[in-house]
């Protein structure tokens, strides 16, 4: 492939002007790094390490640039990416909130980043102290004292907690308890986690956006292992019948599992154990200051009642003889679910976040999250259908069915938001809302940002009526226009350079 073939059209968008490609900036003979001259010894070393069949037969056609050009190019590209550091991320159910950079600095410090979990326990006392203290804090915030920080993400936490529940029932001789009840307002990972554990998910139909105790009664039996319930649920609604729901589950000897993905709305105010939860996972990467996105890094600790604690993964951190120790001699444990201790940087960030805020600060977090969501919902309610309301917790779902009558779908609305400089919210989830847009402003956004986002959404709603094509053709001011994602997935074009 020649240089001319490799030159790509310059890109415009996000108000940053044109960004030429590296090939367009290339100047023959320009170098960005100085290497020592080759000698017979280095040539022999290369040929001895690389098989001849793997050595390129023709020179690789790469751009020739100075170091400064390369740095500026990728810096410009980074500024064209929507991120929580440069715009509002209303990504419902994922809590894309701004995370204090102090916590990033603490997690990246040499004291943590330079350590290795295979070091002797005596040399990891600071890290083990953080694990011990964070476990204590999470246990206090949830009312569930048994804590494991091993799971690497929310779904992994679900999987681990269900393994704990399964081991608990097996130990009691109740091996028939394999059914997991999952409301249709739950996250999609819930039934997937149950299936992965060799259990049987049973779907429950909600009523007015909440779990109906009567529907629950129809499915409870001696085969029920647990109810997996999200509270607040994915519609942003608090399950007001949760006490009755928990009592019904416990009457048949089953457990209440709380999907803690939405704990951001409750932290510091409600302890899940107090409304009947027996075990739950917490997304540190949603609630407690861990940047979230692109599949990681995450952390999904689980918290359980004392009766379930013996089955938690090993090792656990405990205080013994004045030192923090790793304990693995727990015969009922389900064993390891993650190498070493889990995702250490995520744990350190969460510890720093809670240490700074304290209980009162965490109460402010959940309070402002709920306030921001309700304020934004009020601003948008006149222009979009709100199937479940009029109030919400930390997030809400609007329905674009009204706009669809003009040919504008929820996906179009999301794409048009890019032209306004906002990252789109979650679309088409929960599945019980046809043209769903799930919006979560988080506690970290100010009033001006919420109003700016509302103005963009209102403008899109008006365009859907007056000029639908302006929405269905969006985005128009981004580096690339709308991609045909379906064709890209089904018919990918993969080319390999000539060797």
Could you tell me which of 209, 300, 289 has the C-alpha nearest to residue 261? 300
Q: Is 5 exposed, middle or buried (0-12, 13-18, 19+ CB in 10 A)?
A: exposed
pLDDT of residue 130: 96
pLDDT of residue 399: 97
Task: Assess whether 133 and 253 both reside in one domain.
Answer: yes
**Of 17-26, 126-135, 188-197, 300-309, the least confident:** 17-26
Distance, in Å, from the CA atom of 334 to the CA atom of 256, rounded to the nearest integer, reads 19
pLDDT tier at 17, thresholds 50, 70, 90: low
For the residues 55-77, what does the mean pLDDT come to?
A: 89
Could you tell me which of 391, 367, 365, 397 has the C-alpha nearest to residue 378? 391
Which range of 21-35, 200-214, 482-496 scores highest in mean pLDDT? It is 200-214
Give the percent of the chain with pLDDT over 70: 94
pLDDT tier at 496, thresholds 50, 70, 90: low
Distance, in Å, from the CA atom of 128 to the CA atom of 149, rounded to the nearest integer, reads 11
CB 255 within 8 A of CB 249: yes
- Is the model's pLDDT at 428 over the cut of 70? yes
**Of 70-84, 236-250, 395-409, 431-445, the least confident:** 70-84
Give the three-state DSSP class for 255: strand
Distances (CA, A) of 139 to 122, 293, 314: 25, 26, 17
Task: Assess whether 67 and 169 both reside in one domain.
Answer: no
Task: Assess whether 158 and 231 both reside in one domain.
Answer: yes
For the residues 4-32, what does the mean pLDDT come to?
A: 64
Q: Is the peptide bond before 232 cis (omega within 30 degrees of 0)?
A: yes
Task: Assess whether 69 and 129 both reside in one domain.
Answer: no
Q: Is residue 49 part of a domain?
A: yes
Task: Assess whether 242 and 352 both reside in one domain.
Answer: yes
Q: Is residue 215 part of a domain?
A: yes
- Report the sign of the C-alpha dihedral through residues 326, 329, 332, 335, in that order: positive
- Find the helix or strand (DSSP H, E) in which 215 lies: helix 213-219
Task: Assess whether 142 and 57 both reside in one domain.
Answer: no
For the residues 330-344, what does the mean pLDDT come to?
A: 92
Pairing of strands 255-260, 224-230: parallel
pLDDT tier at 342, thresholds 50, 70, 90: confident
pLDDT tier at 296, thresholds 50, 70, 90: low
CATH at 472: 3.90.1150.10
How far is residue 383 CA from its own chain's centroid? 29
Q: Is residue 161 part of a domain?
A: yes
Distance, in Å, from the CA atom of 425 to the CA atom of 21, rounded to the nearest integer, reads 30
Distances (CA, A) of 433 to 216, 220, 391, 429: 21, 26, 17, 7
Task: Assess whether 204 and 246 both reside in one domain.
Answer: yes
pLDDT of residue 497: 53
Q: Is the peptide bond before 475 cis (omega within 30 degrees of 0)?
A: yes
* Residue at a domain's end among 328, 357, 386: 357
pLDDT tier at 145, thresholds 50, 70, 90: very high
Pairing of strands 436-439, 426-427: antiparallel
CB 144 within 8 A of CB 279: yes
Q: Is residue 498 part of a domain?
A: no
**Of 24-33, 207-216, 413-422, the least confident:** 24-33
* Residue at a domain's end among 291, 323, 357: 357
Terminal-to-terminal C-alpha distance of the chain: 11
- Is the model's pLDDT at 59 over the cut of 90? no
How far is residue 301 CA from its own chain's centroid? 14
Task: Assess whether 387 and 421 both reside in one domain.
Answer: yes
Mean per-residue pLDDT of the chain:
90
Could you tell me which of 167, 147, 159 has the C-alpha nearest to residue 189? 159
Q: Is residue 442 part of a domain?
A: yes
Q: Is residue 60 part of a domain?
A: yes
Task: Assess whether 162 and 270 both reside in one domain.
Answer: yes
Task: Assess whether 348 and 385 both reside in one domain.
Answer: no
Distance, in Å, from the CA atom of 265 to the CA atom of 207, rounded to the nearest integer, reads 22
CATH at 171: 3.40.640.10
**Of 82-96, 150-164, 267-281, 387-401, the least confident:** 82-96
pLDDT tier at 175, thresholds 50, 70, 90: very high
Q: What's the pLDDT tens digit per position in 214-223?
A: 999 999 999 9
Task: Assess whether 297 and 391 both reside in one domain.
Answer: no
In eight-state DSSP terms, residue 207 is: E
Three-state secondary structure string covering 152-184? CCHHHHHHHHHHHHHHHHHHCCCCCCCEEEEEC
Could you tell me which of 228, 348, 368, 346 has the C-alpha nearest to residue 298? 346
Pairing of strands 302-304, 146-148: antiparallel
Q: Is residue 87 part of a domain?
A: no
Three-state secondary structure string covering 63-125? CCCCHHHHHHHHHHHHHCCCCCCCCCCCECCCCCCCCCHHHHHHHHCHHHHCCCCCCCHHHHH
Q: Is residue 379 part of a domain?
A: yes
Task: Assess whether 195 and 280 both reside in one domain.
Answer: yes
Q: How many residues does the chain have?
A: 499
- Is the model's pLDDT at 295 over the cut of 90? no
For the residues 36-52, what does the mean pLDDT come to?
A: 80
Q: How many domains does the chain have?
A: 3
Q: What's the pLDDT tens digit per position in 447-490?
A: 999 999 999 999 999 999 999 999 999 999 888 888 888 888 89
- Is the model's pLDDT at 406 over the cut of 70? yes
In eight-state DSSP terms, residue 38 is: P
Distance, in Å, from the CA atom of 220 to the CA atom of 242, rounded to the nearest integer, reads 15
Q: What's the pLDDT tens digit per position in 72-120?
A: 999 888 887 778 888 898 987 677 788 889 999 999 998 888 888 889 9
Structural domain harbouring 251: 101-357
* Residue at a domain's end among 357, 391, 418: 357
């Amino acid at each position: 492939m020649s240089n001319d073939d490799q030159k790509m059209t310059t890109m415009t968008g996000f108000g940053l002007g044109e960004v030429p490609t590296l090939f367009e900036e290339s100047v023959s003979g320009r170098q960005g790094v100085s290497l020592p001259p080759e000698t017979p010894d280095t040539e022999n070393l290369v040929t001895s390490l690389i098989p001849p069949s793997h050595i390129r037969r023709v020179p690789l056609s790469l751009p020739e640039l100075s170091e400064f050009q390369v740095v500026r190019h990728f810096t410009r590209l980074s500024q064209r990416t929507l991120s929580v550091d440069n715009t509002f991320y209303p990504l419902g159910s994922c809590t894309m909130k701004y995370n204090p950079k102090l916590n990033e600095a603490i997690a990246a410090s040499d004291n943590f980043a330079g350590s290795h979990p295979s070091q002797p326990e005596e040399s990891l006392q600071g890290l083990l102290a953080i694990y011990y203290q964070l476990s204590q804090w999470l246990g206090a915030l949830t009312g569930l004292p048994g804590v494991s920080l091993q799971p690497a993400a929310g779904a992994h936490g679900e999987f681990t907690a269900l393994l704990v529940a399964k081991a608990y029932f097996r130990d009691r001789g109740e091996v028939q308890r394999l059914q997991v009840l999952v409301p249709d307002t739950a996250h999609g990972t819930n039934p997937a986690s149950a299936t992965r554990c060799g259990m049987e998910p049973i779907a429950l139909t909600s009523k007015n956006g909440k779990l109906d105790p009567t529907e629950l009664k129809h499915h409870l039996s001696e085969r029920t292992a647990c109810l997996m319930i999200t509270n607040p649920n994915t519609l942003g609604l608090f399950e007001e019948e949760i006490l009755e729901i928990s009592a019904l589950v416990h009457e048949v000897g089953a457990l209440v599992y709380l999907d803690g993905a939405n704990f951001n709305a409750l932290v510091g105010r409600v302890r899940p154990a107090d409304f009947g939860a027996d075990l739950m996972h917490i997304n540190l990467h949603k609630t407690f200051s861990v940047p979230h996105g692109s599949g990681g890094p995450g952390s999904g600790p689980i918290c359980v009642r004392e009766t379930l604690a013996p089955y938690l993964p090993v090792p656990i951190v405990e205080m013994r003889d004045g030192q923090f120790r790793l304990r693995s001699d727990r015969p009922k444990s389900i064993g390891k679910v993650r190498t070493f201790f889990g995702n250490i940087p995520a744990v350190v960030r969460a510890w720093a976040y809670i240490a700074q805020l304290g209980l009162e600060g965490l109460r402010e977090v959940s309070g402002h999250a709920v306030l921001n969501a309700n304020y934004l919902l009020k601003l948008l309610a006149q222009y979009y259908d709100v199937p479940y309301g009029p109030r919400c917790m930390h997030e809400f779902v609007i329905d674009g069915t009204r706009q669809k009558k003009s040919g504008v779908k929820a996906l179009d609305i999301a794409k048009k938001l890019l032209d306004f400089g906002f990252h789109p919210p979650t679309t088409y989830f929960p599945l019980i809302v046809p043209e769903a847009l799930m919006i979560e402003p988080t506690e970290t956004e100010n009033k001006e940002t919420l109003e700016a986002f509302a103005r963009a959404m209102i403008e899109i709603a008006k365009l859907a009526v007056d000029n639908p094509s302006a929405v269905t053709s969006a985005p128009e001011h981004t580096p690339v226009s709308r991609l045909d994602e379906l064709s890209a997935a089904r018919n990918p074009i993969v080319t390999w350079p000539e060797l």
